[in-house]
Amino acid sequence: MSENCLFCKIVRGEIPCRKIYEDDELLAFHDINPVAPVHFMLVPKLHLASLMVAEDSHAALLGRMLLLGAKLAQEQGLENGFRTVINTGKGGGQEVFHLHIHIIGGGNIPPMVKRS
């Protein structure tokens, strides 16, 4: 746990969220500022600042996140597919420094990278 981390505060229930799923290790909740009709976040309860500090010992946790993300995406109505995004570090556009997977879908999902 990290005292001042926003997502740790959500995990601890100090900041409310629209929860989708919770177990001993993981929490999923809707993004406060969605970019698509469905946009939720999957976070480990363990504070890991980003994917860059993940270690071999976190392999099972990371695997669980991906598998659960796919299951929850379908439960949220994204049977046709979805986008998974992990922004990592300042260079990857990360704003909240607690590892999270964005699950995004519904409506028109544009190509992720625009080519001119």
94 binds, among Zn ion, ligand 5GP, none (CB under 5 to 8 A by kind): ligand 5GP
Shortest Å distance, C-beta 13 to ligand 5GP:
13
Residue 17 binds ligand 5GP, judged by CB under 6 A: yes
Task: Tell me which of 13, 81, 93, 111 binds ligand 5GP, using CB under 6 A.
Answer: 93
- Yes or no: say if 75 and 103 are a contact pair by the CB < 8 Å rule: no
Task: Tell me which of 91, 95, 108, 116 binds ligand 5GP, using CB under 6 A.
Answer: 95
- Give, as ranges, the residues between 57 and 86 that touch ligand 5GP (CB under 6 A): none
95 binds, among Zn ion, ligand 5GP, none (CB under 5 to 8 A by kind): ligand 5GP
Alpha carbon distances (Å) from 96 to 2, 20, 108: 12, 19, 26
Binding positions for Zn ion, rule: CB under 5 A: 2, 5, 7-8, 47, 98
